[in-house]
A and B are shown apart, each in its own frame.
Chain A
Amino acid sequence: MALDEAVRQEIQDLIESNDVVLFMKGNRRAPQCGFSATVVGILDSMLPDYHTVDVLSAPHIREGIKAYSSWPTIPQLYVKGEFVGGCDIIQEMFGSGEIYETLGVEPVEVVQPRIEISDSAAAALRQAVSEHGGPGRELHLTVDPTYQANLSIAPRTPADIEAKTNGITLLLDPLSASRADGIRIDIAETPNGQAFKVDNPNAPQVQAMTVRELEAEIESGESFELLDVRTPEERAIAAIPGSVLLNEEEATRIESLPRDTKLVLYCHHGGRSQQAAEQFVSLGFSRVFNVTGGIDAWSQEVDPDVPRY
């Protein structure tokens, strides 16, 4: 297929002006196809930043990149101007460790996760495997970047790591394994019957910040988002300088930020902001802080000019 010169030039510019470029369906935050999502997951584990091109919103690139690379499928990864491959090849290179050299990053040490499975959960898993497993179909545990765990029965892949416990063999991909050390799997009673319950001590949690620490953070000039979760009426009485009211519009803006953005939340005494902070953690934010004692503690310990109410 002939490649239009303007399109060829556009693709070449993208590849030359970025060290790592992924042509994919959707974007890094919202991949629109499983193969693209897999590659994003692998790259996210190694690179803080890289360039993505959404071919769904650029049909000329979608067709053009296939001809440009002599490669019929999306996603496609380019590193330093060189075509690396599609999903299968990147998974393979990740499994073998070759990808680290290609990207020029230090290898992540593959961890053997310690996993605990209760007797009742082990019995339920054995039952599931006997019903749905079979040759080549084994039990997998995945832990995604937001620390959501998922159990499934699926084919084994070469990069999988085995974790054996309580008579059960679990397979984990290297990224899931790095997030799974110390996981405990149990059975919980829910209104809809029994369900697996997974406790992961590695999951990010809301961290506490004292008003003194907050004062030091503000003075250090380090950038972070200081969010006021109170009502506009309360805010009219008193507010911590540099803070923003967390209304709907602001929440939408925060949700579009990188997940390693530092978020600091406060309210009157620290209760409402704790709940809001937990929400952001569940969205995948890894650095979320709640100001202990809220603005009331700020007035008493840091700045008496901020009125108490």
Chain B
Amino acid sequence: MALQIINAGPPPEAIAAKIKDAIAIEMPDAVIEVRPRGPGHFEITVTDSAFEGLSRVKQQQRVYAAIADLMSGPQPPVHAIDRLECRVS
């Protein structure tokens, strides 16, 4: 049986809050939902009228750009976004 590695980083809820804040800075009118899905993994839903007329890639790029700092570096707090849903409000 494999040894389970306990993640000693900040709790997922704290990182989720950081993700939410980072997106809110770039997209102040957005409704943002961040759900932890396991160590370093998250699901995000962003709803904003600013997505209007943008392709799916462009919508997601806006969100990824906002959280780039949390996903870069040697040991980033955010390892992967398992699901990113962008909705037009």
Contacts and interface: CB of A to CB of B under 8 A. Distances in A.
Contacts of B80: 72-73
25 contacts: A1-B68, A1-B69, A1-B72, A1-B73, A63-B72, A67-B72, A69-B61, A70-B61, A70-B62, A70-B64, A71-B60, A71-B61, A71-B64, A72-B68, A72-B71, A72-B80, A72-B81, A73-B80, A83-B57, A83-B61, A84-B57, A85-B56, A85-B57, A89-B56, A89-B57
Contacts, number: 32
Contact of A67 (B56, B57, B68): B68
Interface string A82-110: 01110001000000000000000000000
A83 B65 CA distance: 14
A70 B56 contact: no
A66 interface: yes
Interface in B57-89: 57, 60-62, 64-65, 68-69, 71-73, 80-81
Given A69-B61, A85-B57, 8 more contacts: A1-B73, A70-B61, A70-B62, A70-B68, A71-B64, A72-B68, A72-B71, A84-B57
Contacts of B71: 66, 72
Nearest to A66: B72
A83 B81 CA distance: 19
Size category of the B interface is: 10 to 19
B75 to A, nearest CB: 14
Contacts of A66: 68, 71-72
Nearest to B71: A72
A67 B71 CA distance: 10
Contacts of A71: 60-61, 64
Nearest to A85: B57
A290 B72 CA distance: 54
A67 B69 CA distance: 9
Interface in A38-79: 63, 66-67, 69-73
Nearest to A84: B57
A97 to B, nearest CB: 16
Nearest to A82: B57
Contacts of B64: 70-72
A71 B81 CA distance: 11
A250 B57 CA distance: 45
Contacts of A70: 61-62, 64-65, 68
Contacts of A69: 61
B74 to A, nearest CB: 10
A301 B20 CA distance: 80
